Structure 1
Amino acid sequence: MKLIATLLFFPGLFLAIGQGAKAQTAKDTAVIDLTRSKTAELIYTSVPANLTTASHDEVYNADLIKSPVTTFRNALSGRLAGLYTLQSSGLPGSDGASLTLRGQSPLILIDGVVANLTAFDLEEIESVTVLKDAMATAMLGVRGAHGAILITTRKGKAAKQQISFTVQTAVQKPLAFPKTLGAYDYARLHNEALRNDGIDSLNSGLYYSSTALDAYRNGTDPYNYPDVNFRDAITNNTSLLSRYTLSASGGNQTARYFVSLEHVNQTGFFKTVDSNSYNTNNTYKSYVIRSNIDVNITPKLTGGIYLLGRILNSNEPGATTNTILSNLLNTPANAYPLLNPNGSFGGTQLYQNNILAQTIGSGYRQRYFRDVLVNVYLQRKLDDLLPGLWMKTKVAFYSTLAEDVVRNKSFAVFQQAGTAYTQFGTNGTQANSSGIAYQGRNDYEEFSLGYDKDFKNGDALNVLLLANRDNSTNGSDLPYTVSGGSGRAAYSIKGKYLIEGAFDFNGSNRYPPDGNTKRGFFPSVGLGWNLSQENFMKTVSFVSNLRLYGSYGKVGWDNAGYFVYYPRFYDGPSAIFGTGAGGVTTITEGTLPNTNITWEKAAKLNLGLNGSAINNHLSFTVEYFRNKYYDLLQQRGRNSTLIGNDYPDENIGQNRYTGYEVKLGWQQTVKELQYFVALNGSSVGSKVLFADEVAKPYDWMKQTGQPVGQAFGYVANGLFQSQAEISSSATTVGYKPQPGDIKYKDLNGDGVINQYDVIAIGTTKPLFFYGASFGISFKGFDLSALVQGVQNRNVYLSGSSYWAFQNSGTGQAYSNNLNRWTPATATTASYPRLSYGANSNNDAVSSFWMKNGNYLRLKNTEIGYSFPAAVIGKIRLQTVRIFANGYNLFTHASSELDGRDPEAYSGGYPVQKLFNFGINIKF
């Protein structure tokens, strides 16, 4: 690994030192930099606006680094139209938000190469671009239907050497936890649940006595009648995140470089003890090195090598973070004392997994990630053959390895009875293991030929042909290879009209070798009209630019699985024939093969209008899209189980996604004051056009016609208030309701609540998400903020993080359970009567548990001050800037969530609020 780091670092460092003395001034930087021309990896978006009709949006480095996060995913929230983010966990090293682009999970590319790396130095990213429509992803072919996210890393420029050093330290604080009940409230509600379920108090030892209730309320006997806040006992209120970044960039007409080093140290919130010689906290450390070098080998030949090396180390308790967090949701406050009077871990026969012991006494687990990404290219101008002609070849290699080291330790718990203790479990047994958790490799080869021509009459032509092969191996699987050829041509007529076409002819090796499913043809076409160049617009003086554009095309999605067209047979369980006979191995048939499997497809329409006005202070973009996804892989709902086997997925599904996106911006400079405001809003709706469903007697039961992924359940109609109301209502199959139970609507009027009364629940309106940012700078001071939010969103609250007394009655209870139905609270109750364990009626999927998931979040703020150049120039520094920024600072959400975070509401590792302080020095 040291050798890799040396190879990554020293080429760039050598150039940095060597070029420093020969650095060019700003007026000498007009050199040909072919890496920034219309190359294959950038052709999807980075061409002049008058030469593309592709739908895309981008965010740049200056905005990305305002967020004190470890993955670029979390820096995108609210900044890009059409991109929806959801961060459901704050676990260090695994806190990346999920990304959905116009309803789909997009492909991620780094400098044009597919590489699903999301945790690396934000300062090395020049821009993140979302590619939305068929024209933008046409050349991805069989991998373009879901859209793509293109990460462009920073490259060197022909300019004076600049070295930048940034130090940041952030304080992290969990946003929200489920509010658990103390021992007294838990015990009295526990008794109430037993009574509600008719469990006899005389014949059951489950009830808490009046003595126990008094002890819980008064706290007079904390060992026999404990009242423990387990979360406070094992977690800290704050943790730290530190980041150190060093970069150098510069170059001249011959060579340009960008080199960066970054170290991140993020601690988790588990408490530790000094008596352990090892770390039991859930920590995350990363070491990332980037070296990008571009060289003009000859006046016509340019080459470059882009290198990324990454080391990620994570640590957690031996019992695992997820197990501990799960036990927090299943262990009531009165289960046991954390420590007995003699200092041993407390526990009982029922609760043997002492949470403190799991946190500090179960050993530790470590995972080591090692990643290397190499991207090399050569590009030559072919002007000697035809002016404007060029060719390029590129080779990339990516390797990843994850290794686990596990050193678990068992522990015993003890239950006190007078002066004696009863032991449960074994104390001090250690188990050591290590192994490869994951490994993978990827190689990519590409050859492209391009032609760029500006004609004297004002027309322009851009043509690109490309052939590529992407081969990856994951673990012990056979290689997955995507290969093919693609092309693009765009013609602009005097800057007014644009016609653009693109295609890809490619496929993968996951399809049958015979037939027509090995390769597919994916064409797209686009038209653009620059209205501001027309004579009739010249009288509209306040409009600077106005452009109308649209595209339509077909793209694919490779979702074939692992050679599913082959029949599979596995060794089955042994069968015994006759008395005393030996076992005979049987053969079990796997899922039936699908010999006709092919890729999924999408037909995409995109229409847009963008422009600027009022001396370019105002900018705007409005887009409408309508995407039909078809040949989606689904299992037929009407398959028969009589054959005794599972049916394969088949290309039969159809969905449609429609929506619009709006962007507005204003920027202006007034003397020394600069400010900007940017708004974006996106609406995404969906509809199932076809799903092969089991025959259903009522239309309201069908998924077809509903939004994709729509939840189905019973419609809650309040809570039963009396036995008379129960007697006059529909009966429930297999259940006898009581006052306080959830009452459901009898949709078909047959007097019975059953599967025929299941309907779409929750909102069916299109999801709407938005972002609003502003910034201002004045005499060295700068201030910016970002607000992000979502509308028409539901969350389903259920299970051990919300319902009382789960796990057969032994689980937690929460503050929302206090507002349960009783005869005294009948008119105000928001929770049904309490039950001991599962309740088949109240726990059924229904609209009762569907809650408002809308929220508005102050996602990011930053304030900074840059010292005057006249001051820092005396010590030969270019820039000194001190800053403070915050992340997830304030959230407004529905009271229906009972204080839970609207993104991470299920009781897992909470999303973090961060307060970050730093300094950046450039010299």
Structure 2
Amino acid sequence: MLKSALLSLLVYQSLGAFAAPPGKNPNALKRRSHVIDAVYTGTLLDDQNNPLDGATVNLIGTRVETKSDRSGKFVLTANEGDSITISLKGFKTLKYAIGTDKLFTLTLEPDNSSSLIPRSAVVQEAYNTVPQNLAIASTDAVYNKDIVKSPVTSFRNALSGRLAGLYTLQSSGLAGSDGASLTLRGQSPIIIIDGVVANITAFDLEEIESVTVLKDALATAMLGVRGSHGAILVTTKKGSAKKQQISFTAQTAVQQPISWPKPLNAFNYATLRNEAMRNDGIPQSSGLYYPQAALDAYKNGSDPINFPNVNYRDAILKNSSLFNRYTLSASGGNRSARYFVSMEQINQSGFFKTVDSNSYNTNNNFKSYIVRSNVDLNITNKLSGGIYLLGRIQNSNEPGVTTGTIISNLLNTPANAYPLLNANNSFAGTQLYQNNLLAQTIGSGYRQRYYRDVLVNVYLKQSLDDFVKGLWMQAKVAYNSTLAEDIVRNKSFAVFQQTAPATYAQFGTNGTQANGNSIAYQGRMDYEEFSIGYDKTFGKNGLNILMMGNRDNSTDANDAQALPYTITGISGRAAYNYDGKYMAEATFGFNGSNRYPPDGNTKRGFFPAVGLGWNIEKEDFMKSVSAINRLKLYTSYGQSGWDNPGYFIYYPRFFDGPSPYFGTGAGTVTSITEGTLPNGNITFEKANKFNVGINGAVLDNKLAFTVEYFNNKYYDLVMQRGNNSTLIGNDYPNENIGQNKYFGFEGQLAWQQNLKNKFQYFISVNASSVGSKVLYISEVNQPYAYMYRTGQPVGQQFGYVAQGLFQSQAEINSSPTTVGYKPQPGDIKYQDLNNDGVINQNDVTAIGSSKPLFFYGASLGAGWHGLDISVLFQGVKNRNVYLSGGSYWAFQNNGTGPAYEQNLNRWTPQTAATATYPRLSYGVNSNNDAASSYWVRSGDYFRLKNAEIGYTLPTTWISKLGLTTVRLFANGYNLFTSSSSQLDGLSPETYTGGYPVLRLYNFGVNVKF
């Protein structure tokens, strides 16, 4: 008995705190083999090399455990050969055998098996990362898993409906130029790629790890004069210390235009044009009317040469085309080096028809080749570095007259203008219509543009733990070069009008070729950054400090003669947390550009921001509330800036003018003209931003939510004065005088659940409301309050208030008179706002809805035994569009344009009760074409933006082939759109008649090994 007790005591003393005391369960521990004599330091990273805070590290066979700090580090006393387990929610548990290295780095892989909604343990910010539970700034992110579901070339098109606060509008589907515009809380944000400002948005979606929006002043204060518009932060994939994985994806999509304006056939066009001329009082003797014989010929198609009826769109455009994409990537590494490399090739064909007789391509094709290489190195135990490279080659091709010209001419050519080909197969035309659309498509030659982009990003990071624990410094250098070169091989063509059975009148010159090469634009950017940081936890106190100086120098790619644009300055961040419960953060930027007077007070600006956060679930009084897993309240306030100085406008400018003759001699004198008046007080635009929010998770993290409110005041906005005359003989300069306010709410709600039999499902919705108000704009004094722009939403449309259509001459006689115009029945009737009996400029006011813009997205999906399905809905409310011009109004372009299906519902005495379009006019009608509420329509729409179904083959089927994953998938983009009937079938995004947005049906396979 005594021997046994002594032996137990000896074992306990030899194992120290790593062994159970005598009397405890001896089976709970394994006997250690030898005396502990080493201290090991590990660093935990996620698969994007972000440090992981709060991971639990357990020494197997003991009760010893520790946790990683904010820098991902942990310290453990152990023996060589011991094993540890590392666990963190959202990541796969890792088992690691301790070797001879006293310093080591480990990577935890995300555990996507328990979550269909991609998430990250850290929040990406402009120059740093923050653990999710300690983040105060307003951000939102979308991850690779959702980004790659959209078969698009620009990642901007993959963001629609996925991020709260971000409004997207895709106004063109033209290959290579189809990127949606982005508006973040009412502003146009900058693009930052891996910490460097670089406006490149079309590259391999599979290389993107995440896209994060930075919304409030706290998130963007370090950007200084680039912060007030917010930022889109793109984080590319990095390698991790794991076995190499190779991934190959092949995709093919069928693409179709969503909608085109619908022009009338020749008979209806000619009939309506006759009616329009009668309405305008054009006499029959003018020779402009179509006789009945012509109308009959248009209707029965008896003479297609002299009385053509051509659907030009169907004649020159295909109904569909192909979009092919191939991506190959590899990633992996070890403790010393980690890599991610990828290559992508895209071939997107256009819709123009071609002919085999051409030895060159005349379709509007787009091709791109993209290479990405991200390498991170541990050079020593204290020194690390990385080299990130992006190379992009893009080639576009189109007919010689350009795609835009052809699309424009489709909107200006009525169906009876000319046959495409004459009886002798020559291009047909007339003196009025010489731009034969088929000739422009296949007979105008071709033009190509070659794009070249290189982005290099290099950094070195040195740990200074030997001097001060938690101290580090980093240097970064980046370079971006862009070039676009045009090769033009235009060819002229003649058109012929048949005047007799074998006689043709020629218009234009046939077969003249013009060759040219030129640089469309060329630009360069270099970026230098030095930063020093400190990250340390003292008991329950955590401190993180970052100080940085940087320089961003660039040349204007569109103006080779412009001087470089350089932004320099310093910025910093200090964050403190107590026990992960209370958080405080302060950030600042102090910088400016070389576009301001060198000796003034405006060359640099100081932009501070502060924030507070409270993790309520950590309070003692919340311990009994088991339903709440997370609950954080946070707020921020600060000032940010925007650099909008113009091009050295503080300098007075004088330019050579024309050289007039004086007297009767041959001599001339060069005149001098003065440029716009200089402004020596030009300064930065500024914004004071307030943000408050709450987020959390309940019911065992099944339901997550976020709600935020923001109120941002923008001031010192650059604009010209509008209340001054031009008696001085010159224009007034831009000045910092404008003030606007943006405000609104954002909300997100997500539910996900894992059921029995491996069935998972999720539902996620987000909604945003963004309102605005003009606080001050320099405008002329108005006689009536309703005429002022001040107080209205930013960008508010102004015009007359329409009261329907005049139904009779008696109604016209009893209504106010219109200055300079004599109305007829069927004309638009306007409201006399000042009751002076006259319709004139004093009756112009705000038209359309002034409600805040409301936009939303909803995604849902499920997974079961390798089968997965997801859909994304997206929509907008309180959006106004203004219908006008050649895509909607009849007989534009001085009467030579077409008419459309909506014009059939014009006002006539017979259709007076149901008409939705005014009486027809031949060409311009100063009354009906005036800006008015009659043409303001609802731009609301609801869209099935994306849907995907995929199946991952069972491992047992493919493992013998050396494959780890084979996934077959099919997805669609812009599959269905429901919009207001007021748009008359036009697309809610491309209603102006430009290149239409596309619908895509995509099929692909992903193989990993």
Instruction: State TM-score, norm by structure 2.
Output: 0.88
Q: State the distance in 1 between where 2:770 and 2:347 align.
A: 37
CA distance change for structure 1 residues 834 and 841 in 2, over 3 Å: closer, same or farther?
same
How many Å separate the matches in 1 of 2:121 and 2:942? Answer: 40
Q: Give the match for residue 358 of structure 1.
A: 440
**1:582 alignment partner in structure 2:** 667
Kindly provide the CA deviation profile for residues 672-708 of structure 1, in whole angstroms up to 9, marking residues without a partner as x: 0111111000000000000011010111100000000
CA distance in 1, matches of 2:699, 2:858: 21
Residues 310, 284 of structure 1: alpha-carbon distance in 2 compared, 3 angstrom cutoff: same
* CA displacement, residues 226-282 of structure 1 (integer Å, 9 cap, x when unaligned): 000000000000011000000000001111000000000001111111100001011
Q: Report matched runs for 1:459-858 at 5 Å.
A: 459-474=541-556, 475-671=560-756, 672-858=758-944
Q: Distance in 2 between matches of 1:223 and 1:28?
A: 82
* Aligned equivalents of 1:727, 1:294: Cα separation in 2: 81
CA distance in 2 between counterparts of 1:434 and 1:538 reads: 72
How far apart are residue 579 of structure 1 and its match?
2.4
Matched, 1:269 2:269: no
Counterparts of 2:663 and 2:122, CA distance in 1: 73
Q: Distance in 2 between matches of 1:619 and 1:754?
A: 55
User: Residues 769-794 of structure 1: CA distance to partner in whole angstroms, max 9, x if unpaired?
Assistant: 00000111101100000000000001
Name the aligned partner's letter for residue 668 of structure 1: Q
Of 181, 184, 190, 1:101 maps to: 184
CA shift digits 1:872-917 (9 cap, x unpaired): 0011100000100000000000111111110111111000000000
Contact 1:52 1:500 in 2 (8 A): no
8 Å Cα contact 1:50-1:498 kept in structure 2? no
Aligned-partner Cα distance in 2 for 1:718–1:65: 48
Q: Distance in 2 between matches of 1:849 and 1:505?
A: 47
Separation (CA, whole Å) in 1 of partners of 2:582 and 2:910: 73
Q: Is the Cα–Cα contact under 8 Å of residues 44 and 136 in structure 1 kept in the other structure? A: no
Q: Deviations over 1:800-839 (max 9, x none)?
A: 1100001111101000000000000001000000000000
Tell me the secondary structure at the aligned position of residue 270 of structure 2.
helix
Distance in 1 (alpha carbons) for counterparts of 2:283 and 2:488: 47
Q: Which amino acid aligns with 1:617?
A: K
Q: Deviations over 1:164-195 (max 9, x none)?
A: 00000000000000110000000000000000
Paired residues for 1:15-34 under 5 Å? 27-28=95-96, 31-32=104-105
- Answer yes or no: is 1:113 the counterpart of 2:196: yes
Which amino acid in 1 is paired with 2:703? L
Provide, for residues 829-877 of structure 1, a one-character-per-residue CA deviation record: whole Å limited to 9, x for no partner.
0000000000000000000000110000000000000000011001110
Please give the per-residue CA displacement for 1:701-746, whole angstroms capped at 9, x wherever unaligned.
0000000000000000000011110011000000000000000000
Q: Matched residues in 2 for 1:34 and 1:759: separation?
A: 61
SS in 1 for 2:176: coil
After superposition, the C-alpha distances for 1:102-142 in whole angstroms (9 at most, x for unaligned) are: 00000100000000000000000000000000000010001
What SS does structure 2 have at the residue aligned with 1:647?
A: coil
Max Rg structure:
2
TM-aligned CA deviation for residue 27 of structure 1: 3.8
**Aligned residue number for residue 146 of structure 1:** 229
How far apart, in 2, do the equivalents of 1:135 and 1:157 lie? 30
- Matched residue, 1:916: 1002
- After superposing the two structures, state which structure 1 stretch, 310-319 or 580-589, moved more: 580-589
SS at match of 1:583: coil
In structure 1, C-alpha distance between the alignment counterparts of 2:796 and 2:108, rounded to whole Å: 46
AA matched with 1:376: V
Distance of 2:948 and 2:986 partners within structure 1: 26
Deviations 1:278-326 (A, max 9, x none): 0101110000000000010111111110000000000110011111011
Aligned residue number for residue 458 of structure 2: 376
- Describe the superposition over 1:594-646 as per-residue Cα deviations: whole angstroms up to 9, x where unpaired: 11000100000000000000000000000000000000001111122111111
Deviates more, 1:590-599 or 1:37-46: 37-46
The residue identity in structure 1 corresponding to 2:431 is Q
Match of 2:389 among 285, 307, 311: 307
For 2:275, which of 192, 198, 203 is the aligned residue?
192
Alignment partners' CA distance in 2, 1:112 and 1:32: 23
- What's the TM-score, normalizing by structure 1? 0.96
Where do 1:377-416 residues align within 5 Å?
377-416=459-498
Higher relative contact order (CA 8 A, sep 6+): 1
Deviation at 1:537, TM superposition (A): 1.7
In structure 2, the residue matched to 1:220 is 302
SS of equivalent residue, structure 1 residue 541: coil
Q: CA RMSD in A?
A: 1.6
Question: Tell me, what secondary structure is at the counterpart of 1:913?
Answer: strand
CA distance in 1, matches of 2:464, 2:709: 40
Question: 8 Å contact 2:769–2:853 — kept in the other structure?
Answer: yes
From the superposition, tell whether residues 29 and 842 of structure 1 become closer, same or farther in structure 2 (CA, over 3 Å): farther
Contact 2:569/2:589 (8 A) holds in 1:
yes
The whole-number CA distance in structure 2 between the counterparts of 1:169 and 1:899 is 29
- Tell me if structure 2 keeps the 8 A contact 1:696–1:702: yes
SS at match of 1:214: helix
Separation in 1 of the partners of 2:376 and 2:107?
Answer: 9
Counterparts of 1:776 and 1:734, CA distance in 2: 64
Alignment of 1:328-339 (within 5 A): 328-339=410-421
Q: Given that residues 314 and 366 in structure 1 are in contact (C-alpha distance below 8 angstroms), is that contact kept between their aligned partners in structure 2? A: yes
CA contact (8 A) 2:953 2:967 kept: yes
Contact (CA 8 Å) 2:125, 2:219: kept in 1 or not?
A: no
| CA–CA separation in structure 2 for the residues paired with 1:362 and 1:445 | 47
Amino acid of the structure 2 residue aligned with 1:634 = M
Q: 1:875 aligns with which of 945, 950, 961?
A: 961
Give the Cα–Cα distance (whole angstroms) in 2 for the partners of residues 638 and 912 of structure 1: 45
Q: Which moved more, 1:47-56 or 1:838-847?
A: 47-56
Match of 2:534 among 440, 448, 451: 451
Which residue type is aligned with residue 32 of structure 1?
Answer: T
- Contact map agreement 1:746 1:753 (CA 8 A) in 2: yes
Q: 1:410 to 1:93 in 2, by over 3 A?
A: same
Following TM superposition, by how much is the alpha carbon of 1:581 offset from its aligned partner in structure 2, in angstroms? 3.9
Cα distance in 1 for partners of 2:658, 2:97 equals: 73
- Paired with 2:772 and 2:105, the residues of 1 have a C-alpha distance of 47
Aligned to 2:80: none
Asked if structure 2 preserves the Cα contact closer than 8 Å seen for 1:399 and 1:441, the reply is yes
- Is 1:820–1:834's contact at 8 Å kept on the other side of the alignment? yes
Partner Cα separation in structure 1 for residue 496 and residue 361 of structure 2: 25
Aligned residues: 898
What is the Cα deviation at residue 43 of structure 1?
A: 5.6
Q: Distance in 1 between matches of 2:651 and 2:631?
A: 54
Measure, in 1, the Cα distance between the counterparts of 2:906 and 2:484.
48
Which runs of no fewer than 5 residues in structure 1 stay unpaired? 1-24
**Alpha-carbon distance change, 73 to 149 in structure 1, aligned in 2, over 3 angstroms:** same
**Whole-Å separation in 2 of the counterparts to 1:236 and 1:773:** 33
What's the CA shift for 1:45? 6.4
Which position in structure 2 is the counterpart of 1:21? Answer: none
Structure 1: distance between partners of 2:731 and 2:108: 51
Give, in whole Å, the separation in 1 of the partners of 2:196 and 2:95. 34
How far apart are 1:49 and its partner, in Å?
2.8
